[in-house]
A and B are shown apart, each in its own frame.
Chain A
């Protein structure tokens, strides 16, 4: 670690080397562009660029953007500049593969959106990587997956969707309004819009005859639904999927995901005009439906990838799950905490909570509770309808 990397004689020079270092960081999940490489070179002209310690500090200020980056930077720096040889991937800790998978799923999401067809293969491969990492778990998981393969069209009828759509529209409307903090010109406003008053008074010789008012406009909330379709949820999936489908059709600003052992974005598939065809496309995406559940890992993946783009302070994240997790429950808590950092509201609807005498004893659920804004039972469409009042209050 201590020796400085010897670069080959044909190496084109420091600029190229720095660009290669940026690419190395990028491969490991840092979000860096050409601008940072340029800035890095500019920075190195400002400091003693032959002193490794100085360079390390300088590049850290430029290349990192959050605490996680800072924690990983030293190892990546050592791997590139200080290993006494060429770049050795093996000296990079296991984060490399984790972030690769973050990277690829983000790309997949991009492709997903532009092509509008969904990319079932990419999440598939990442799912297997996770399974492989578990060691012997892989064979079992894939066997279970094959057996449990179900056609969602058997489960959800188009009539249900129509009904759910009406309901989703009402619920969506209940969630819609969060008042903006900024006032805008409005006839029935509660404050005087001075700027406007002055402008208009000019035409009447300085007499403010007409008082312009402003008020805080209502801003729509976005709803992001995460629906658990693991084995334990099969009986409720019918209701929930119809609900999600209805929600997607009622409001174009919503977004939806399925998860079981991995996370799949279903927003594009569900927006298909033909309800039945939408479900057909969904079945393809939801390969592995009815298998085990990894809620923690799926939510973490969501928080690290999609949430960065789609979740902000005006978003409600709706999780439909029973909370029976095969993962480490701590992971679920951490994932929700990360998600809450995006400043969103998190609602968890749990079908099991409807049972008499239910206590959230599933360890995952216990970890999740402190991070939830609302935790309610729901296993029929009627239950969902009853939520309307609660959502208005949120």
Chain B
């Protein structure tokens, strides 16, 4: 598969990727390297992983990062309740200490968390490590080992090596600088807000039944809105919500009803200040230009 066929295959799944992103995904697949996607919220970073798993027909394993994420939630944990019960049962049956120990520290009592799950699959799954910049440095450091060796060491069980190399996608939206060591292990693609033509294609792919005139207006309006001084710029997901809202309300022309337009801005503007700053007049002006 070349990178252009990958690009079309992704488009068939409803994901319009630009050349840089398609190439980065292609290289990540063919070289077996993790891919780090960086960009503002709502530009479709997480979506890449979902589309990729559909494309490959494999499972998507997701690890949502947060501050304080530790091994017990990311890699594995022993099932303590079962272990305790099992020890009690064994003592009544008169089982010896050593055999109990072997039994309760076997794989039956192991709870797989996303990272361990990903490396124990027979067919390579897509492993999505979402918002890695929310986790702290310790976790980042731990991830380095897994991403380069694809193995996990459990003291009671020994080292578990990957049966198949998962396709690893990491996403970050720049709340914190990532370490150079992590960046160097990954291929990198910066996902930015799409061009007009790309965004129009996305809208058509996701909302097939939308009329061409309205679609053009929506894209023009959203793209103009992003140029305004906003706290939180509307992403692609917001644009799709906006389109869905307008279609649900049966609007055919953005400029036709200022009140409805102002109300449907709730799908695009997510902070109080932004709602306040984009007044009815500004919205009308932007809509007029987009028409």
Contacts and interface: CB of A to CB of B under 8 A. Distances in A.
Interface string A68-99: 01100000000000000000000000000000
Given A205-B91, A206-B90, A35 B184 contact: yes
Contact of A313 (B26, B137, B187): B137
Contact of B31 (A43, A53, A312): A43
Interface string A308-331: 100011000000000000000000
Interface size bracket, A side: 35 or more
A341 B173 CA distance: 11
A47 B84 contact: no
Interface string A158-190: 000000000000000000000001100000000
Contacts of A388: none
B187 A61 contact: yes
A211 to B, nearest CB: 12
B190 A70 contact: yes
A57 B70 contact: no
The DSSP consensus for interface residues of chain B is helix
Contact of A60 (B20, B30, B31, B88): B20
Nearest to A183: B70
Given A46-B31, A48-B2, A61 B84 contact: no
A278 interface: no
B54 to A, nearest CB: 22
Interface stretch (B96-104, B193-201, B238-246, B280-288): B96-104
A312 B177 CA distance: 9
B184 A57 contact: no
B180 interface: yes
A313 B136 contact: yes
Contact of B100 (A35, A69, A202): A202
B20 A206 contact: no
B78 A39 contact: no
Nearest to B189: A61
B183 interface: yes
B184 A65 contact: yes
A208 B84 contact: yes
Interface string A194-230: 1101100111011010000000000000000000000
B27 interface: yes
A54 interface: yes
A67 interface: yes
Interface string B152-184: 000000000000000000000011110010011
Contacts of A201: 84, 87
A206 B91 contact: yes
A341 B138 contact: no
A308 B180 CA distance: 9
A341 B174 contact: yes
Given A181-B70, A341-B174, A65 B91 contact: no
B20 A181 contact: no
Contacts of A194: 78, 80
Contacts of A43: 27, 30-31
B86 to A, nearest CB: 8
Interface residues of B, number: 43
A364 B233 CA distance: 27
Contact of B80 (A42, A67, A198): A198
A140 B21 CA distance: 50
A370 B227 CA distance: 23
A60 B35 CA distance: 13
A244 to B, nearest CB: 26
A4 interface: no
Interface in B35-76: 38, 67-68, 70
Contact of A202 (B68, B78, B101, B177): B101
A61 B97 contact: no
A356 to B, nearest CB: 34
Interface string A246-263: 000000000000000000
Contacts of A48: 2
Nearest to A70: B190
From B22, B104, B177, B180, name the one whose CB has the most chain A CB atoms within 10 angstroms: B177
B251 to A, nearest CB: 36
Contacts of B33: 39
Contacts of A33: 184
A181 B91 contact: no
Nearest to B176: A343
Contacts of A31: 180, 184
A66 interface: yes
B187 A206 contact: no
A213 to B, nearest CB: 14
A37 B175 CA distance: 30
Interface in B214-253: none
A64 interface: yes
B188 A64 contact: yes
A61 B188 contact: yes
A340 to B, nearest CB: 9
B24 interface: yes
A202 B180 contact: no
Given A70-B190, A202-B87, A342 B176 contact: yes
A222 B190 CA distance: 32
List 7 tightest A-B contacts by C-beta distance, closest first.
A181-B68, A206-B87, A57-B23, A61-B24, A65-B183, A194-B80, A46-B30
Interface of B: 2-3, 19-20, 22-24, 26-28, 30-31, 33, 38, 67-68, 70, 78, 80, 83-84, 87-88, 90-91, 97, 100-101, 104, 136-138, 174-177, 180, 183-184, 187-190
12 contacts: A35-B184, A43-B31, A58-B23, A65-B180, A65-B184, A182-B68, A198-B78, A198-B83, A202-B100, A313-B176, A342-B177, A343-B177
Given A57-B23, A181-B70, 12 more contacts: A43-B31, A46-B27, A46-B30, A54-B23, A58-B23, A61-B24, A181-B68, A182-B68, A198-B87, A206-B84, A313-B136, A313-B137
